Every structure is written in structure tokens, then in C-alpha cells.
Chain A
Amino acid sequence: MNILQKGQIQEAAVDRPAARLSLAYVWVAYIAFGVAALAGMLQGMVRGGIMELPSWMNYYQILTAHGVLMALIFTTFFIIGFLYSGVAKTTGGTLHGSALGWGWSGWILMVIGTLMAGVMIILNEASVLYTFYAPLKASPVFYIGTALVVVGSWLAGFGIFSRYRKWRRLNKGQNSPLFLYMSVTTYILWIVATIPVAIEVLFQLIPWSLGWTPTINIMLSRTLFWFFGHPLVYFWLLPAYIAWYVCVPRVIGGHVFSDSLSRLAFICLLLFSIPVGFHHQLMEPGISEGWKMIHVILTLIVVVPSLMTAFSMFAIFETTGRKKGGVGLFGWFKKLPWTDVRFFAPFMGMLFFIPGGAGGIINASNQLNAVVHNTIWVTGHFHITVGAAVALTFFGVSFWLVPVLTGRTLTPTANRMGMVQTVFWSVGMFIMSAAMHTMGLEGGPRRTDYTTYMDHPLALGWMDYQRVMAFGGGLLFVAAVLLILILLYLTFMAPKGHTEYPIAETEEAQPVPRILERWTVWVGVLVVLIVLAYGYPIMEQIQHQAPGSPPFRTW
């Protein structure tokens, strides 16, 4: 298997400096997660009519906190921590000086940015939700804070690129380890995706919020935001896919299904997840029907690599289950390690991704979006995708990653608690999102405080769903608290010992087409696709722009 030639040492744990860096990212992620979970639970209770917020706090403020902390801070910090650990693990269990340097500079910048944005949210100076649509104007400090988070994440990415280049230099002519390759793909996606939102924040929002420019081009700001907004969801998803493709097979005692197909899937995800942002803007004026349709078609193309992923996952489970003696059409299914949380949590995530993906196809289907746009169906949709498929995978990873990083062990008791946590999260999410999807189809809006719309019978009929959502939210909060407790135990108290970092290999050496590692080719194709999908519309939005908007503070 040429493990040593590939620069890997089978049993080497991630060394101390790399582990410390990775753990620092993971813990900031979970601190943000804890606060965000509390905010989420409160929202559910308020909207369900079960409680009222104290006068010094408002619904949209905690909604902003929940969105920013969950969708931007928890995800980004966790992803960087996870990628750094896996990159270190698959390149010899260590990181060289400049990779560590980039990693820590990114962490410091991101923490400063998070604190700036967080303080502004607490002061009610930034109740603009995590999409911060202009002309709602938050404090400039909020925008600068978010910009620092993004720039910090770039610095962290340079560390991963630096590690990759060094590995390539030392292993000429070899295929990079799958985990490393996927991390590089994920980071290219992230950097390309964040450039437009950085342009929006730096050149539109910050000068305008400081009063240097009187008005803002709303259409352009939205296009730049959604240029970023859709690949953002793939930035959440790809690390979960890394865990599914590389870590889960090892956990269940199997192999990577196909090295080259895994890489191909990632390249497709990179290429087609970016030039598709208009599918978030289908219901708005100022974008022509034709351009909307072009983005819809590109969006549906990005479904194909996820279909490949679905096949690969089942194939890994089937081949492994059959080797363990599973027979018949589905006999292999019973042979999977159902009592191992490292498998069970990401598996539940995969299950959630089936309705999640189906819902995503519906959302992106041009005029069908009218049925669900800005209804609470959408909230239900991203709670089963990022909030369940991705989050459960991250939890499942954390259960072994944290002990790997702290040199401790996942004890049978901690494993059992993890199983309980996974069940609570899954049941809570199922109940909440089912109510959200149904209420959304009846037209109930998302992002809205408790209301009966002047006792309109239709809105009164939504109350039952909202109470069910509150109940689901309560279960989710219990699961969140349990998770934090387990992670505290694994960080500070679990017995010292060796925990495996699960990295699967292919069963035998598989040839990988060299073209898959030619980044100039793929980035080139990506740029062409972006220019085709966005060049003309953005030019139009600048040349024929609507009269600009002055800032408003409506909260």
C-alpha cells in the first residue's frame, strides 16, 4: 500500500503543536455552538407562544446571533480545525512551521472578528440577520468583524496550501493523500466563494455604513452575497463528505470505495457549486427569466456529484457488510457497527441528507420556488442539511477527534452518551423540521417573531406547528448541552490513551488520472464558468443600476 512512501506513518498521532492548533479551532466552534443553541431554543419557545423575551432582548437579535454563530462561526471554525488535523495526520502527523504560523494567525484574526461582530449583536447594533441584506444598516464594527473572520479563514487556508505544496515537493510523482486533496479542493472553493462577499463588505457595506458613500447598489450587493451564499453551503458540506468518504469507511472497517471517483466528485462540486447563486434570487425583480434559468440548470448539474456520493456511501456499507457475513439484498445493513457513535452519528446525518437533497432540488427548481420561497419550509430545509447532515457528521467526528487531539480515549460510557446525544438531536430535528416543512407549504413565513397577523384564521392555524417546533427545539437544546458536556469530558477528564484517527485507504493501489491534480486546469475551468454565469448579469447590474438606497435602521 506504499503507506510510508505516501508520507504517512500508520500509527502516528497528530503531534502536539498541530493538535493544539486544531483543538483551539474546534473549541471556539463549540463555544459558538453552545451560545447559538441557546438562542435557537429561545426562538422556538417565543415563536411557539410558550414564553416572551425580556424587554432588553428582541427576537431578531437572537435570530441574528443564532444564524451568525451557527452558520458562520461554528461551521467555519470546526471545518478549519478538522481539516488541519486531517492534513497533519495524512502528511506525517505533523505540520511545518509556516503551516502552523498561518493557522494561528488565521485563528487570532477570526477570534477578534467574531468578538467584534458578537459584541455588536449583543448591543443590538447589528440585528440584520446573518444575511445582512442592505439597506438594513448594521454598525460598521459588525461588517469589519465579519470581514476579519473571512480574511482570517483565508490565512488558515494558506497554511493548508503550504502544507500541500511541501508534501508535493517531497513526494514527487505521487498522488496526494485523499484527505489532503479534498481539503485543498474545499479551500479553493472557500476562497473563490468568499471573494465576492469580501468585495461586497469592503467596497459596498463598510464605506456606506461609515457614511462615506450615501447610497448602495442593492441588486449588486445581493448578487455578490449569493455568489458567496450558495458555495457557502458546499463549504459546510464538503468537510462532511470528507468524513463520509475517508473517515467513516475506516470506522466501519472498510475501504475507500474509489479513490479517483471521490476526487472527481469533489472537482465537480467545486466547479458547479459556485456559478449558481441566482437560484437564491428566483423571486426577485431585476434578474431576467433567462439568466435565472441558466443558474437553475447549473444548480441541477451539481446534484450529480451528490448522486455519486450516495452510491459510494451505500457501496462502502454493502462491501464492508458483506465481508462481515451479511447476505441477501440488505443483509449487509445489519452488519454495520450500530453501537459505535463514530459511525452512528454521521450515518444519521446521511439519512437526513436524503430528504435534504430532495428539498434542495425543489427549492432550486425555478418557478417551484414560489411555493416555498421565504416560507419556514426553507428553515426546515437547512436545518436538516446543515443542521443535521453536516452537524451530526461534525459531532460524530468530534467524538474521536477531540480525544485524538488531547491524547485521551473515547470510553464506552462516553460512546453511549454520544449515542443518546445523537438520538436526541435526530429526533428533535426530525420533529422540528417536519413541522417547518409542512407549515411552509401552507405559507407560514420564516424569520418572523410571534404573530397571529391580526388573528387571521390561516395564521392561527399555524400555531400548532409552531408549538411542535418549540418542542423539537427543546430536544435539540438538551442534545446541545449533552454534546458540550461530552466534549468537556473528552477534553479534560477522559482517561489518557491512544485513539485512532480513522483514515481509510483504498483496498489496493488504484490509478488516479494525473489531470485530477492539475489545479490550474480546474481553477481555469471554474473561472470560465463563473464569467459565463455572472459576467454579463453583473456588468448589467453595474451599468443599468437602479437608483441607490440610503441606509436604514428599522429595529
Chain B
Amino acid sequence: METQPNTQRDVKKAPQTKPHQENLKGTFAAVIIVGLIILVSWFGIFGLFLDRA
């Protein structure tokens, strides 16, 4: 891929911040969405189970 050499240069120029200090607001929002998907589907099936009992 022609983008590879550029990528490597970007990496070297990148500011040396520690991962735990980085802005991860988007990550947090994304995992919360994942969590909600899990919750909603689980309670959906739990409801179906109770409904059929």
C-alpha cells in the first residue's frame, strides 16, 4: 500500500503522550452504546422468557 511509508513517518512525529492521559471521550461514548445494546437485548429476551412462562 502506498500509504505505508507516510504512516511510519506520522508515527515518529506523533507527540509522546501516555495512553491514559489521552482524550477518550468518544471511546467512552462508544462502549456505553455497546453496553446499552447488551442490556436492551438481554432484557428483551428476559421479557420474552417471562411472557412465555
A and B touch in the complex (CB under 8 A): yes
User: What residues of chain A have their CB less than 8 Å away from a CB belonging to chain B?
Assistant: 253, 255, 257-258, 307, 310-311, 314-315, 317-319, 322-324, 329-333, 337, 340, 342, 354-355, 357-359, 361-362, 365, 367-368, 370-372, 410, 415, 441, 500, 507-508
Interface string of B29-53 (1 = CB under 8 A from A): 1110010011001100110110010
CB pair A315 B27 closer than 8 Å:
yes
Tell me whether A253 and B11 are in contact (CB under 8 A): yes
Please give 10 more A-B residue pairs, beta carbons under 8 A apart, in addition to A331-B26, A361-B42, A507-B17: A253-B8, A253-B11, A255-B19, A310-B34, A314-B26, A314-B30, A329-B26, A358-B37, A359-B41, A441-B48
Across the interface, A362 reaches (CB within 8 A) one of B11, B17, B45, namely B45
A318 & B52 in contact (Cβ 8 Å cutoff): no
Q: Which residues of B contact A314 (CB under 8 A)?
A: 24, 26-27, 30-31
Which of these, A255, A315, A361, A365, contacts B24 with CB under 8 Å?
A315
Q: Chain B: which residue is nearest A409 at the CB level?
A: B1
A-B pairs under 8 A by CB, number:
91
Q: What would be 6 A-B contacts, judged by CB atoms less than 8 Å apart?
A: A255-B11, A329-B25, A340-B3, A357-B38, A365-B46, A410-B1
Closest to A324 in B: B10
Question: Does the CB pair B37–A355 fall under 8 Å?
Answer: yes
Contact status B19-A258, CB under 8 Å: yes
Most chain A beta-carbon neighbours within 10 Å: one of B1, B15, B23, B37:
B1
The one of A315, A337, A367 in contact with B49, judged by C-beta atoms closer than 8 angstroms, is A367
B37 contacts A329, CB within 8 Å? Answer: no
Binding site for A on B (CB under 8 A): 1, 3-4, 7-8, 10-11, 14-19, 22-27, 29-31, 34, 37-38, 41-42, 45-46, 48-49, 52
Residue of A whose beta carbon sits closest to that of B9: A253
Q: Which residues of A contact B45 (CB under 8 A)?
A: 362, 365, 368, 371-372
- The CA-CA distance from A359 to B29 in the complex, in Å, is 21
B48 in contact with A507 (CB, 8 Å): no
Q: Is A362 in contact with B41, judged by CB distance below 8 angstroms?
A: yes
> B1 touching A319 by the CB < 8 A rule?
no
With A and B bound together, what is the CA distance between A358 and B15 in angstroms? 37
Expressed in whole angstroms, the Cα–Cα distance for A319 and B23 within the complex equals: 7
Give the chain B neighbours of A337 by CB distance below 8 A: 3
Residues of B within 8 A of A322 (CB): 22-23
- Counting chain A CB atoms within 10 Å of each CB, which of B16, B23, B38 scores highest? B38
User: For residue B52, which residues in chain A have a CB less than 8 angstroms away from its CB?
Assistant: 371
Complex Cα–Cα for A358 and B52 (A): 21
Task: For the complex formed, measure the closest distance between the CB of B42 and the CB atoms of chain A, giving whole angstroms.
Answer: 6
Is B42's CB under 8 angstroms from A358's CB?
yes
Identity of the chain B residue whose Cβ is nearest the Cβ of A504 in the assembled complex: B11
Option from B3, B26, B41 in Cβ contact (under 8 Å) with A330: B26
Q: Which residues of A contact B42 (CB under 8 A)?
A: 358, 361-362, 365, 368
Q: A253-B10, A365-B42 are in contact. Are A371 and B26 (CB under 8 A)?
A: no
List residues of chain A with CB within 8 A of the CB of B7.
253
Among B10, B17, B19, the residue within 8 A (CB) of A315 is B19
Chain A residues with Cβ below 8 Å from B38 are 357-358, 361
A329–B29 Cα distance when bound, in Å, is 8
A138 CA to B28 CA, complexed, in Å: 51
B21 CB, nearest partner CB in chain A, Å = 11
Shortest distance from the beta carbon of A306 to any chain B beta carbon, whole Å? 10
Q: Is B31 a contact of A354 with CB atoms below 8 Å?
A: no
For residue B11, give the distance in angstroms from its CB to the closest CB of chain A.
6
Chain A residue at smallest Cβ distance from B52 = A371
CB neighbours (8 Å) of B25 from chain A are 329
A-side contacts of B46, CB under 8 Å? 365, 368
Residues in A neighbouring B48, C-beta threshold 8 A: 371, 441
* Chain A, residue nearest B40 (CB): A358
Q: Give bound CA distance, A371 to B24, whole Å.
A: 38
8 Å CB contact of A354 from B10, B22, B37: B37
User: With A340-B1, A354-B37 as given contacts, are A318 and B23 in contact (CB-CB < 8 Å)?
Assistant: yes
Chain B residue numbers with a CB within 8 Å of A318 are: 22-24, 26-27
Q: Which residue from chain B places its CB closest to the CB of A252 in the assembled complex?
A: B7
CA distance A500 to B10 in the complex (A): 16
B9 to chain A, nearest CB (A): 10
Q: How far is the CB of A321 from chain B (nearest CB, A)?
A: 8
B residues less than 8 Å from A367 (CB atoms): 49
Known: A354-B37, A367-B49. A333 touches B26 (CB 8 A): yes
Alpha-carbon separation in the docked complex, A511 to B3 (Å): 31
Instruction: Return A241 CB to nearest CB of chain B, in Å.
Output: 16
* Residues of A contacting B8 in the complex (Cβ-Cβ under 8 angstroms): 253
